[in-house]
Structure 1
Amino acid sequence: MRYRYRILPALAALLLITTGCAGLLTVPGAPVVTQPLPTVEAYMAQHIDWQPCENGQAECGSIRVPVDYADPGAMAISMPLIRLRATNPAARIGVLTANPGGPGESGYEQVRYALNPRDTSLRKFRIRYDLVGFDPRGVGRTAAVSCLSDKEMDDYLATDFTPTDAAGVRRVADAHRRYTAACLRHTGKLLGFLGSEFVARDMDIMRSALGEEKLNYFGFSYGTRLGQYYADRFPAHVGRMVLDSIDDPSWTTNRWDFTPDPQPPDPTQLSARDRIVRDMLTACAARSDCPLDHNPDTAMQRLRELIDRVDKDPISTKDGRKLGSNLALLGIFEATYDEAKWPRFERAVADALHGDGTGLAQLADGYVGRSDTGRYSSSEPAFWAVQCANDDPKSYRSKSEEQILAELQHNADLAEVTSPLFGRNRAFSTPVCLFWPVPPTSVSTTVHAVGAPTIVLLNNTGDPATALSDAQHVAEELADAVLVIREHEGHIAFDNGSACIDAIVVGYFFDGVVPDRGARCTD
């Protein structure tokens, strides 16, 4: 099962802001769009009107991109940009842009955060690069996907996604149907034009409008897919590219063609997420101040009992919500991405065992993009809009709802064998695309990027979201790529405690030093 990819640990939360501009056209039920240009060439010839912003510390501007590249003159959206100029212009290499993952996370905010002295990620590259941030279409400031209201989203996440009977399964289907119908109602026509292939073309319009021959790029998690698409379509325009925690674009999920695996799941082969939770409990048990049980097996049993208990009788949180099994599991799931969150997990579980679900709910909020004021960012709906665009269009809506629900139940039974903690919940909470209101736009395919310069790939050995095997496959398929492996659990290799990885990335971006093939980092 695939899982949602997460952003850099240090990245601040998205601001819940969208922008419009003069000369607006509106489409019923859709985000505000801007006056289109007649041809793709006209979009490529744009010039950006940069204005001071962020108290004069940055420059802000925007470009227009066509909603449909096959009909560029029909409709356009505005893509706001932020630029931090190189602090050493005499040594300037070019423009560096980035995407932190998701899909659904904000590249605009990632660059904006580089103004913060605490940022140790992109900020260091500003010495020799202009940092330029953008939100992919459907995200944040760029015609953000809109689905449910904040209250409706709270209610959706309170759904019992671990049903035990046919009525419960139908309630799950109804929840997904309400969610996806709202996405179409509030986002309109744009919902059919949010796939990654469109974003790659938007990126080249941005490159051209910036007046750059080459675009340097740092992609994380899902952002590595964008980088691969860009390098495949525009190899001559690629400068230096690093992709961290690799998403394999050839990985195909035909959601409408369920073929049972002839080999039954092996209960001794725990899922990566369940293994990490066991590691978390074991690490806690080894400390004298562990707020959980000092026997990891007992702690795991108590954790499962907690999930069962809140599933039947949700517990209170300090903001008035109730913590049921779905929100609790999302909170635990979020903690598995980053070892720095393990102490929060321990405290949250200990509090929940004593009847206070606040800590687990707050961890879950980080996963779904909910602020401490109860506002949701566009990250969750944008995630599904992009994910659901990637499938075989010929198979869309090819099964009855009865077939779908029966297969979901079967999938849940299988998933629970290797993931006793998360399996059933994930099987029922993640098949949003089976109810998606518009057909997919692209089929997964292998990317080769012939003609692009050497692409540096990074991946942790124990990454629960982007498996090392995927990175190895991508490294084999790309025409020119070097994979650097870090022996480490968790998601994201760069700026995550490895001096070895950080030195390789800095050396490549600053001096063009390509790491040796087979390079490994053990710190």
Structure 2
Amino acid sequence: MAGVVGAAVLVCATPAQANPLSWKDCAELKCASLDVPLDHADPRGERVTLALVKAPARKQAERLGSVVVNRGGPGFSTIQYLELIKGKHLPAPWDDRVWDRYDVIALDQRGVGKATPTVKCFATPEAAAAFGAGVPTVPVSLAEVMKRAAKDAEFASECRKHSGKLLDHLSTATVARDLDLVRAALGEQRLNFLGQSYGVALGTVYANMFPARTGALVLDSVVNPAITTTGAIGSVQSERSGTDNSTRDTMREFLRLCAQGKTCQFAKYGPGAHRDLLAALRAEPLALTTPEGKPVSLTYSKLVVYIGGRLYQTDAWSGIDYMLDLTHRALTEPGGQAASELAQVVSYLDEFEPDNPYNELTPAYSAFTCNDDDTSKFALAWWKAAERRERIAPNFATLRAYETSQCASWQAKPKERYTGPWRPKNARPALIINNRYDPATPISGAVELSRTLNSRLLIAEGWGHIAAQQSTCAITATSDYLVTGALPQPGTTCKPNTVPFSG
């Protein structure tokens, strides 16, 4: 750790140098690239290329500067995110004032999206899709655990084979150094940054490594690296951060709102129906046949993955209700209409949302997560952690634990990690925002970050992942902060835009 901290101090003492970016027209946006060292300890050596797009400030005469955005993952393309926002396919996490006064910059960090090279683990998309077929995301037996461990080891080997030495240069600390070169290339004295989910971890590491160059920081939905990076021997990331508990709590809220709402069909089966339904599937998969005669199976893993994913966005909660109601009816009447309808749903999921632990995000997610975090090299540590946590977070402890199981076999040694200290002297307070019930980024991580970072915490009293996608109040607070510097009063909370199942 002393070496990492010393390096950070050295870099802060010598301002980063980068050539100005050369922007060109790319549809509605401007695009550019920036070459940075593969290894920042060898600045004249091999290079990698970052990709950027810009939505220029609409009122250039009143421009306040640039704000760099990171969508999270790690591994999501922030460029694609900004393109979807500009195309009106996703809501912006800021209002018109930010579009008017800031150049909004989306950066695809090294190894991700339109950066080159990117993390690759398979030769073709078809090979990637076939790789995890038949491997459950949520193992429920020792046989499945061993199968998963073997596949994780094979996956790690494929990533090393196809990505090579790039894997040794993918860490949040390295990306923070890239960010400082981006700041310099933008001509900014301080980095203004909006990070979501993993983007919060990146912004936090940047603030600790480069506090004197940190400007406005909006940190929405907190992955707190002080909690996830290190932990007790044998612990896994999900139990350090509590994502299993937060998924459990969000599911409890789903069931509560379902029971008291006007539009939730599953409510009629009573409070224990969800538990009994999952227990039945865990004991034995539900064999089904589509109207076309195709046999399919609804497994415990498929349903837990379905629920866990759709808890992220409240506009998908009606889908959870539909799936639970349909499954309950199919279990009650195996030969009935509900069973036939459920078979069609499962067939669709098998084709378009397969129960496969190795999806398109997994390569980049693994590269950064396994390099950043202390992890066991004993594959059964994940199973042991899941067993420990299932007592307090039933059905979701294994789902969340196994999101990082590939780290047991990961074949990379990061050239640099940042492991603390975690008390930066950032001059401008950051704005931290988190939903009260977020299955991916627990409120506890946001509270802890607010204690160690010069900041103000705004809690959105809603549900799901990414507060700005659930609350106009959070969007307004973000825009107030970026444009005027104003922070919410201590203890301020935001109401969600909608309450699920309220009619």
Partner residue in 2 for 1:172 = 148
CA deviation map 1:202-255 (0-9, x unaligned): 111111112222321111111111111222222232222211122222114658
Measure how far apart 1:80 and its partner are: 1.5
TM-score by length of 2: 0.80
Partner Cα distance (1:418, 1:254) in 2:
22
SS of equivalent residue, structure 1 residue 271: helix
Out of 190, 193, 197, which is 1:214 matched to? 190
Partner residue in 1 for 2:407 = 433
Structure 1's 310 and 69: CA in aligned 2 closer, same or farther, altered over 3 A? farther
Partner Cα distance (1:367, 1:120) in 2:
30
Partner Cα distance (1:259, 1:47) in 2:
44
Partner residue in 2 for 1:121 = 93
Measure how far apart 1:169 and its partner are: 2.7
CA deviation map 1:380-426 (0-9, x unaligned): 2111111101234xx875xxx5xx42x44432322222233223344
Partner Cα distance (2:277, 2:323) in 1:
11
Structure 1's 473 and 428: CA in aligned 2 closer, same or farther, altered over 3 A? closer
Out of 48, 62, 65, which is 2:33 matched to? 62
Measure how far apart 1:151 and its partner are: 3.9
Partner residue in 2 for 1:330 = 305
Q: CA RMSD in A?
A: 3.4
CA contact (8 A) 1:332 1:360 kept: no
Measure how far apart 1:47 and its partner are: 2.7
Structure 1's 311 and 67: CA in aligned 2 closer, same or farther, altered over 3 A? farther
Identity %: 27
Partner residue in 2 for 1:511 = 484
CA contact (8 A) 2:285 2:297 kept: no
CA contact (8 A) 1:84 1:131 kept: yes
Gaps of 5+ in 2: 1-13, 237-243, 331-338, 497-503
Partner residue in 2 for 1:36 = none
Return structure 1 stretches of 4+ with deviation > 6 angstroms: 314-322, 365-369
CA deviation map 1:98-133 (0-9, x unaligned): 111111112212222332245333463211111111
Out of 426, 433, 437, which is 1:462 matched to? 437
SS of equivalent residue, structure 2 residue 435: strand
Partner residue in 1 for 2:500 = none
Structure 1's 503 and 387: CA in aligned 2 closer, same or farther, altered over 3 A? same
Partner Cα distance (1:498, 1:83) in 2:
24
Structure 1's 182 and 126: CA in aligned 2 closer, same or farther, altered over 3 A? same
Structure 1's 145 and 322: CA in aligned 2 closer, same or farther, altered over 3 A? farther
Partner residue in 2 for 1:477 = 452
CA contact (8 A) 2:167 2:412 kept: yes
Matched, 1:44 2:17: yes
Out of 144, 159, 170, which is 2:118 matched to? 144
Measure how far apart 1:317 and its partner are: 12
Partner Cα distance (1:296, 1:278) in 2:
13
CA contact (8 A) 2:471 2:494 kept: no
Structure 1: which amino acid aligns with 2:114? R
SS of equivalent residue, structure 2 residue 25: strand
Matched, 1:383 2:365: yes
Structure 1's 133 and 123: CA in aligned 2 closer, same or farther, altered over 3 A? farther
> After alignment, is 486-495 or 179-188 more displaced?
486-495
Structure 1's 502 and 367: CA in aligned 2 closer, same or farther, altered over 3 A? farther
Measure how far apart 1:309 and its partner are: 6.8
Partner residue in 2 for 1:347 = 322
More helix by percentage: 2
Partner Cα distance (2:214, 2:355) in 1:
33
The structure whose RCO (Cα within 8 Å, separation 6+) is larger is: 2
CA contact (8 A) 2:95 2:475 kept: no
Structure 1's 123 and 185: CA in aligned 2 closer, same or farther, altered over 3 A? farther
SS of equivalent residue, structure 2 residue 461: strand
Measure how far apart 1:292 and its partner are: 3.4
Structure 2 matches for 1:411-422, cutoff 5 A? 411-422=385-396
Measure how far apart 1:147 and its partner are: 1.4
Measure how far apart 1:329 and its partner are: 2.1
Measure how far apart 1:349 and its partner are: 4.0
Structure 2 matches for 1:58-97, cutoff 5 A? 58-97=29-68
Partner residue in 1 for 2:4 = none
Partner Cα distance (1:180, 1:481) in 2:
38
Partner residue in 2 for 1:264 = none
Partner Cα distance (1:67, 1:413) in 2:
40
Structure 1: which amino acid aligns with 2:180? D
Matched, 1:274 2:256: no
Partner residue in 1 for 2:7 = none
Partner Cα distance (1:191, 1:134) in 2:
19
CA deviation map 1:135-159 (0-9, x unaligned): 1112111122111443444441631
Partner residue in 1 for 2:78 = 107
Structure 2: which amino acid aligns with 1:420? P
Structure 2: which amino acid aligns with 1:239? G
Structure 2: which amino acid aligns with 1:332? I
Partner residue in 2 for 1:445 = 420
Partner Cα distance (2:176, 2:468) in 1:
23
Measure how far apart 1:345 and its partner are: 2.0
CA contact (8 A) 1:471 1:483 kept: yes
Partner Cα distance (2:125, 2:400) in 1:
22
Structure 2: which amino acid aligns with 1:66? P
Partner residue in 2 for 1:34 = none
Structure 1's 84 and 365: CA in aligned 2 closer, same or farther, altered over 3 A? farther
SS of equivalent residue, structure 2 residue 222: coil
SS of equivalent residue, structure 2 residue 394: coil
Structure 1: which amino acid aligns with 2:187? G
Matched, 1:227 2:195: no
Structure 1's 323 and 158: CA in aligned 2 closer, same or farther, altered over 3 A? farther
Structure 1: which amino acid aligns with 2:136? D
CA contact (8 A) 1:251 1:444 kept: no
SS of equivalent residue, structure 1 residue 202: helix
CA contact (8 A) 1:317 1:361 kept: no
Structure 1's 45 and 282: CA in aligned 2 closer, same or farther, altered over 3 A? closer
CA contact (8 A) 2:136 2:355 kept: no
Structure 1's 332 and 316: CA in aligned 2 closer, same or farther, altered over 3 A? farther
CA contact (8 A) 2:463 2:470 kept: no
CA contact (8 A) 2:462 2:470 kept: no
> After alignment, is 125-134 or 325-334 more displaced?
325-334
Partner residue in 1 for 2:398 = 424
CA contact (8 A) 1:52 1:60 kept: yes
SS of equivalent residue, structure 2 residue 268: coil
Partner Cα distance (2:154, 2:218) in 1:
39
Measure how far apart 1:498 and its partner are: 3.9
Partner Cα distance (1:333, 1:363) in 2:
17
CA contact (8 A) 1:158 1:327 kept: no
